[in-house]
Structure 1
């Protein structure tokens, strides 16, 4: 099961008590105090586990505790230190304070383990308090308590490109054709219930990662449908690819405008991310009038391109360097017939380089 958000409680270990002890050996008169120190409590660490890609291991368990330190022993023997707790999470996990919603740590590609809570320090034994005035101390320190924290773990997938579109517009077919991903594909809405990642290979020299999230519907930023649960997975992407279905009962321009509005309500930063547009399922239309209207509404020139193996059946728009306002490209495609898919790979790769 894909799990991308959990709340747990973590506890570091309590420090062990210092010992109260006096040396008692034959022929040793007034041996004096020899109580050892208590051991420190265990710390709590988090580390990336590259062998997992969800937070499903946290289902069914809410409390995670490091070991307590052991009490001090006679003969100046210190107590054993409590074992540290190392919690493994997939790359892309963000740790939040569940009460204040403050980000504690954001895991991306760190190899080192990160300490989140420190264990309590062990108490001094009575041998520590011996001096010329007090040669027989009969007291020791208690160990310090450990720390505790209520945290929320959120997984945000790490990808270069994020697909954004309404349900059943061809996102899953597109990612399965472009990359090595094998999502479920069917002719009904909300086929995709979990995010999918795929690696797009560029002639064996370069590659980039593309993420497909469940379809976004109107009101997704307010919690409707599945979109709000998975919009976080495209927050890390460098480039957004809007997939617009030109055969849908929804007007193409309306699709695009509504999707942009939902992104803006969810995250201003995501709204201003660089993006491109593909007009999918063009093999299902009779004329290119609907495509021309879309280009005109966005103020982008509809022109025939000769480069990158682009089909001459439909016009395209590719942004010039001086153009800062419009999308990087608008490209009619068909995943079923692979129309313009090779050119799409190159356009995305060029946009990522910029």
Structure 2
């Protein structure tokens, strides 16, 4: 009786208030079998609260309907394009998708109009309607990041992963946050998770490459760069980034080697061990600079338009090689010769 009265009030009388009153009674009515019958909550969600734009109640009733009997057949099946929607589970998902798009797009518009507080409220409603949508959490986290609130952004990402622990985008977002905090091992592990679940892992793999570099794991970084190049052999940006890897390695060693070279020049009796180390470092600098130059050339060949950054990087690496060849390596050889130190 309660359910029939509710549907009559909504469909024939167009009286949503009466429909809601009878629908709420039907939720717990023995006639409607509250344990196994999903009709009453599905009706309230789709024919009462949705028309009232009461999205919080829509979400609540859809949840109840799905929990009661997701496989129950709909009273009025329908089609989405060519796809038939015949069960409560299919109907619930269809309405979640349909209404989520509206709410989420509204939130994006509010952000564009800089009505951030209103946008955040809309996103929270979107989360209620469709909690598994990663865009909810990434957009909300982006708002927090814009406000430099890393803790709130991290909490938001964790909320999203609680709803869907295979969301690549949210693992990447968390990794970005840990990277900002200089927590390199946590960032590395989260980028690996993001890559595991990503349909397009390339951009995340490039980020991971620089985490390995920042961790000082140069051997791993070089191995990983080779893996990336095998996977994406025609990617100009990747060649450029691998060039940057070798450029950074060259510059890091160059700073140390020049400091040690200056120390040698200040010694009355130069240390044979330090001479050997400086010579080895100078050769590494030249080798890394040469590798960087070659990768920058590869990037230049693949780039559609001339890139001034690439050209500058090539010139810089050529200059570093020339300094090693013309100044530093000959100088360290002269010091070694005077000190009676044999070099390879």
Q: Is TM-score (shorter-chain normalized) higher than 0.5?
A: no
Report the TM range for the smaller structure's normalisation.
Answer: under 0.3
Which has more radius of gyration?
2
Q: Which has a greater percent of strand? A: 1
Q: Bigger relative contact order, structure 1 or 2, given CA contacts below 8 A and separation 6+? A: 1
Compute the TM-score of the two structures, normalised by the length of structure 1: 0.27
Structure with the higher helix share, 1 or 2: 2
